[in-house]
Amino acid sequence: MKFFSMIRGMNLQLFAEGAGDGSGTGENAPAAGETAKGAKNPLANVVYGKQEGAPAAGEQPETKEGAGESAETFDSLIKGKYKADFDRQVQDIVQKRLKGSKEMETALNGKISQMQNVLDELAQKYGVDGTNLEALTNAMHADDKFFEQEANDRGMSVQQLRQIKNMERENESLRRQMRERADREQAEAIYSKWMQDAETVKQQFPDFDLQKELENPQFASLLRANVDVATAFQVIHKDELIPAAMQYTAREVQNKMVSSVAANNARPKENGIGNGASAIVKTDVSKLTKADRAEIARRVARGERIVF
């Protein structure tokens, strides 16, 4: 027990001073993994003492300084110093997606305005309500003068031209119905795709509700611009999701770092160790055997630093 009280908490490298018990020092010390007589050392795969960076018994693993601060620092930057730049970058991405739909909407509004001007002139000519398209159409069909010039140009009677016009209208109505059906089917396919994407998003974000998100005009606009559901959700909720993602990443990095430190500490440090045998770590002085104490003295004599 006297030996234990002497070395507990001490750097055993002090044994190197004046060690003269025949174990060998300096240049005459036996090679790693061998005893003084050159035989194979049975304790070669044992690691003695506390290892640098390894947590003590009952303590939580320590992490490198600042490891848990990266998420907070990034979060503070995108919400503070670089908030304008970050928001501008996100807006640029969204605006590029919305540009095409806005141009199409502007062109459509222009066409609607032109059509309305024509309807107003016809309604004024026939004395009907311009908002009543059926009444306006009937008034036009009953007006022979409306067809006379075209009938003369085409070499047929007004009655013949009326029949041709009726057939053209019916054909156009049929084509319109087909287009509307195709549009409906396309809309149903798009909505079905949204629902499938929503199920995928819910696996990552269980609280996600597509119907609720569609109540947000910005979210709906992104989907109409062919932005997928997951991207639209992340853009709209970036202020909530990015900090949470950074905290998760920080925890993952911390866990990997702790695992790496533990793996490195468990790795044998002597050249003679590691030929396929796993290392044994002994940190409890009270459990050291006589052979362990002799091995510790031999290693310290060779210059190894061992601390309990």
The yes-or-no verdict on residue 222 having pLDDT over 60 is yes
Question: Mean pLDDT lowest for which of 22-26, 97-101, 254-258?
Answer: 22-26
Structure-block tokens of residue 103: 């141009």
The yes-or-no verdict on residue 262 having pLDDT over 70 is no
The yes-or-no verdict on residue 101 having pLDDT over 80 is no
Tokens 């468990």 correspond to what residue?
266
Q: How many Å apart are CA 294 and CA 288, to the nearest integer?
A: 10
pTM equals 0.32
Q: What is the pLDDT of residues 43-58, one digit of tens each?
A: 888 888 887 655 555 4
Measured over all CA atoms, what is the biggest interatomic distance in the chain, rounded to whole angstroms? 132
Sequential DSSP letters for 263-276: HHHHS--STTS-SS
Q: How many Å apart are CA 229 and CA 256, to the nearest integer?
A: 32
Tokens 């750097």 correspond to what residue?
11
Domain chopping of the chain, boundaries: 1-32+281-308
Is the pLDDT higher at 249 or at 132?
132
Cα torsion for 143, 147, 149, 150, to the nearest 10°?
170
Structure-block tokens of residue 218: 């910005």
Mean pLDDT score, 181-187 = 89
Q: What are phi and psi of 258, to 5 degrees?
A: -65, -40
Q: How many Å apart are CA 105 and CA 249, to the nearest integer?
A: 41
Structure-block tokens of residue 69: 């601060």
| Bridge partner residues of 46 (DSSP) | 280
- E strands, 157-302, are 280-282
Q: Which amino acid is at 95?
A: Q
Question: Mean pLDDT lowest for which of 43-52, 153-162, 213-222?
Answer: 43-52
User: 254: helix, coil or strand?
Assistant: helix
Winning range, highest mean pLDDT, from 48-62, 92-106, 185-199: 185-199
